[in-house]
A and B are shown apart, each in its own frame.
Chain A
Amino acid sequence: MQKDYNTLENIIRLPHKYAAGPTFTSFYEGLRAGKILGSTCPNCKKVLVPARSFCPQCHANLDEFVEVAHQGEVVSWAYSDKEFFGSPVEPPFITALIRLDGTDCDFLHLLGGKGLSNLEDVQAKVKKGTRVKAVWNEDKIGRMLDIKYFEPVS
């Protein structure tokens, strides 16, 4: 028999106050007002969402916000029905990359609603290019999940 050695359990909890900075603060304020804010790069003309303080490609400073569409097309999705650490919602947890209309990058968020309660539903109803729209929470607090999820537009 191999000897079992000691283990020591230690839970590390670290308070941390993350500064959002002016751009993400504006983005969150936008969410609270029911808007999805992006930025247009004056150089490459790309519309980026969430809003940015600078263009990651050409490094131009971005100081003007544009309100982007609440609808778009699914690029890809992933489905998990297990509870896991830090999950923002009860299972199923369906993440998706969504290309919001008029934007030039993919927006990462959740899929839900419209009978998307199991894998078979999602497989049947969600393909690349499926149109989806944002469903908002009634109480908005200026955080990412003010948008509850995106659901298929039927």
Chain B
Amino acid sequence: MGRPVAIVGSGQTRHGRRFDVSYPELVKEAVDAVFENTGISPQDIDGVVSGTMPSMMEGVALTHFYFADVLRSVGKPILKTETCGSTGVSLAITGYYWIASGLADLVLVVGSEKMNEGDSQATMTTVVEPFYQRYFIAGAPGVFSMQCQEWSNRFGIAEEKVREAATRVTIDHHNDAFDNPYAHIKKKLTPDEVNNARIITYPIRLWDVCPNSDGACAMLFASEKMAKKLGLKSAWVKGVGYSGEEYWFGDSEKAIWQCAIDAARQAYDMAGIKNPRKELDVAEVYNPFTYQEMLYYECFGFCDFGEACDLVLQGVFSREGELPCDPSGGTLCTNPIGATGLNRVAEAALQVTGQAGAHQIPGAKLGLAHAMGGVDQFNGVMILGSE
């Protein structure tokens, strides 16, 4: 086990279509925010971790070179971490490793994306090889549609019930987003509007899908000694887990989804969590698609397999429920992919330090942050505590 690791602050940009700034200027917004929020001087950091989606989405292949100045990395060691959609949690885990190893005391961790500049669907097809899967992976929605069907078939959940619960999930989150100053899409939705929205990839409709967002997130990870010296409200990393599966999409089951189960289990074991629904106060689950959020509840042991839809409809995972999930509105409302997972970590850190403002879950002391990447291939989980 490594040394204790604290998160001493975060900075998020405003999200949306950010053609008002260049890509490095967008990253600078998040980096400046974390230093301003913490009062820490950039010269005090020991190193920088940065990450984005794979380069095809960035338009520039070597982003950590392009961002060298705004990352305040000149003269410091710099690492790049990139695991597709799970980049953000991988970034946080990289920062955690660096501090836990004892080789650094203060590390800047930055994730970013400018999704509106390129064609996100087109670049996502380049995530896979051209021999076989690229013909059929048309972007993210097709993969998630098939996973959703596999899940509802596996547990005999009626399509109507999945629809009703997914509608509840998206209405709640788009409503939650009004209380998150950084959220991209904030909207009062009606069930009719959601149920009759245009089909993206059946059964997934418009409001089941996350937006294309431009944005960045910066965080500072510190050793115990450094955190005590700084005296800032800190979230402590209690557990980390990351797991991947075979490359070929059809090789492994995606309903009882082993890498999601394993990532959570690793993190729970490290944090000493036995009953996540009881022990966790808040969870920032990566929810690019409504259906997938519910599948994660099951894989993360928040409930039994096949049970999530019923519990969603009972309000168990809503803001006032037993285990509030994505009170920030989550990925469903804001998705700058390379930053999205780090946003989850930043939000969980804000919650357990009581700094989440209008969307604070009262008294939250233990939170989960999560992200997923690849063609349903990777899952990463981080558990944060108030002490």
Interface membership of chain A positions 4-36, coded 1 if the CB is closer than 8 angstroms to chain B and 0 otherwise? 110100101000001010001000000000000
**Inter-subunit contact A79/B202 (CB<8 Å):** yes
Interface membership of chain B positions 107-129, coded 1 if the CB is closer than 8 angstroms to chain A and 0 otherwise? 00000000000010110010001
**Inter-subunit contact B139/A77 (CB<8 Å):** no
**Inter-subunit contact A86/B149 (CB<8 Å):** no
Stretch at the interface among B8-16, B80-88, B130-138, B361-369: B130-138
**Inter-subunit contact B248/A2 (CB<8 Å):** no
Question: Contact partner of B201 among A57, A75, A80, CB < 8 A?
Answer: A80
Tell me which residues across on chain A come within 8 A of B200, comparing CB atoms.
Answer: 80
Stretch at the interface among B140-148, B165-173, B174-182, B233-241: B140-148
**Inter-subunit contact B250/A105 (CB<8 Å):** yes
Q: Which residue from chain B places its CB closest to the CB of A75 in the assembled complex?
A: B150
List which B181-204 residues lie within 8 A (CB) of chain A. Answer: 199-202
**Inter-subunit contact B19/A109 (CB<8 Å):** no
Report B196 CB to chain A, min CB distance, Å: 14
Tell yes or no: B59 within 8 A of A by CB: yes
Chain A CB within 10 Å — which of B134, B201, B250, B251 has the most? B250
**Inter-subunit contact B133/A108 (CB<8 Å):** yes
In Å, the complex CA distance between A76 and B149 comes to 6
Tell yes or no: A110 within 8 A of B by CB: yes
In Å, the complex CA distance between A145 and B132 comes to 9
**Inter-subunit contact B248/A56 (CB<8 Å):** yes
Report B278 CB to chain A, min CB distance, Å: 33
Interface membership of chain A positions 57-92, coded 1 if the CB is closer than 8 angstroms to chain B and 0 otherwise? 100000000000000000111111100111110000
* Residues of A that sit less than 8 Å from B by CB: 2, 4-5, 7, 10, 12, 18, 20, 24, 48, 50, 56-57, 75-81, 84-88, 93, 95-97, 105-110, 119, 122-123, 128, 144-145
Tell me which residues across on chain A come within 8 A of B125, comparing CB atoms.
Answer: 85-86
Chain A CB within 10 Å — which of B133, B201, B247 has the most? B201
Known: A77-B149, A145-B135. 16 other contacts (CB 8 A): A4-B19, A5-B19, A76-B149, A78-B146, A79-B145, A79-B201, A80-B201, A84-B139, A85-B119, A85-B121, A88-B136, A93-B142, A95-B142, A96-B146, A108-B136, A108-B249
**Inter-subunit contact B250/A107 (CB<8 Å):** yes
Tell yes or no: B153 within 8 A of A by CB: yes
In Å, the complex CA distance between A95 and B59 comes to 28
**Inter-subunit contact A80/B122 (CB<8 Å):** no
Report A138 CB to chain B, min CB distance, Å: 19
**Inter-subunit contact A128/B250 (CB<8 Å):** no
Whether A76 contacts B147 in the complex (CB less than 8 A), given A12-B59, A56-B247, A108-B250, comes out as yes
**Inter-subunit contact B146/A95 (CB<8 Å):** yes
Report A64 CB to chain B, min CB distance, Å: 19
**Inter-subunit contact A95/B131 (CB<8 Å):** no
In Å, the complex CA distance between A56 and B246 comes to 6
